[in-house]
Each structure stands twice: as structure tokens, then as C-alpha cells.
Amino acid sequence: AEMGRTLVELFYDVVSPYSWLGFEVLCRYKHIWNIDLRLRPAFLGGIMQATGNKPPAMLPKRGEYMLKDVKRMAKYYQVPVKISEGDFQRIFGTSTLGAMRFITAMDMIQPGYLEPLSREFWIRFWSQREDISQTENILAVARQAGLSSELSQKLLEMISSPAVKNRLKETTEEAIKYGAFGMPAVVAHFNGEPHLFFGCDRLELLGSIIGE
């Protein structure tokens, strides 16, 4: 982090609608707050497995609440998340491992593209309800984010490399070390200590702790 700026890390997976909300809010605040936002693509499946957590929708009452909650937050933050009951099956039936490896590969070679690329994955999955585990959809997302076809091909080839697989695994393990049990996990490094915030509705609290 630059002198005097607070490093804020956002651990996210594009399968998570709350991660999209947290991502958009932090992307707005980084222009207003004295923070360095570091986007950390990680794998939600790995975090759930390691911590014994279960998707909220597995508890019917919690699933019901989540539908209303995501809709309210989407409206409040003006983020085009579309959610309905059928989405829970869709989430369980889609692996975002390929997408998150693609994003991780981008982080390794051109991190400047991380924000638009991640946003397009969320739009495709949560606004357009497309299956982002399919290669042609991954390439369509990359095109939409402004990547050249050469760069997209390079990233596709990198998906299966040990370097990318290990990087995603390490980032996921790092989130767990900070205490993450779900996503988004936001870690603010303040006064020499990491402060973990879970979810997208604790950002005012984050602000108050770092003096914003």
C-alpha cells in the first residue's frame, strides 16, 4: 500500500452475488476513501469445504430471506443482480473453478484488467443467467471486458497450468487464514493488524475502523 493508505483486500468468487455487491461498493469507495483496494480472486468451494460451511439456501428459511435481501441490496446499490428461486439450483450446478482460474491468470499477467473482467463474469452469471463454466462463455466474457483474442487464448491455456492452480489455492488458503468462512471476505490492514469483515453489509463498519 502507498504511504498512509490502508490496504483493503477483497477475497471473492463470481458465483457469489454478495461478492458482486461488495466488489461494486468497494470499487466506488476506492476513489473516495484513502485505501488501496486489492482484488483477490479465490475459490468459494474451497473455503466452504475447509470450514464446514454450507450454502445459505440449504436452509429454506434462509434461502427465502436471501432472495429478498439480495433484491433489496441490488436496488439500493444499483447493481443489476437478478435472483430467483431457480438460481439456487443453478449455483449448486455450476462450477466457477474455470472462471476463477481464468481471473487468477489475468491477475498474474495483467492485474489492471481484473476489475472489468470480474465484473463481466458477474454480469454474465447474475444478470444474463449464462453458464460461465463453458469455454465459449468465458471467451465471450473476456471479449466483453475488452481483452484481445490473443490474450484470451493465452489465459485459457494458463487455466490448466500448475502455476495458476497453485495461485488460486494459495489465495483461497490465505482467506481462510484470515478467518474467512464464506464470501465476500474483506480484510483491512490497519495499525499493523488484519481486520476481517464478512459480507457486503459491513462496509460502514470497515470505514469507521480505518477512520473513514
For the chain, domain boundaries: 6-210
- pLDDT tens per residue across span 44-60: 999 999 998 887 777 88
Q: What CATH superfamily classification does 6-210 receive? A: Glutaredoxin (3.40.30.10)
- Which residues have a catalytic role annotated? 16
Cell of 62: 434462509
- Tens-digit pLDDT profile for residues 120-177: 999 999 999 999 999 999 999 999 999 999 999 999 999 999 999 999 999 999 999 9
What would the grid cell of residue 204 be? 460502514
* pTM for the whole structure: 0.95
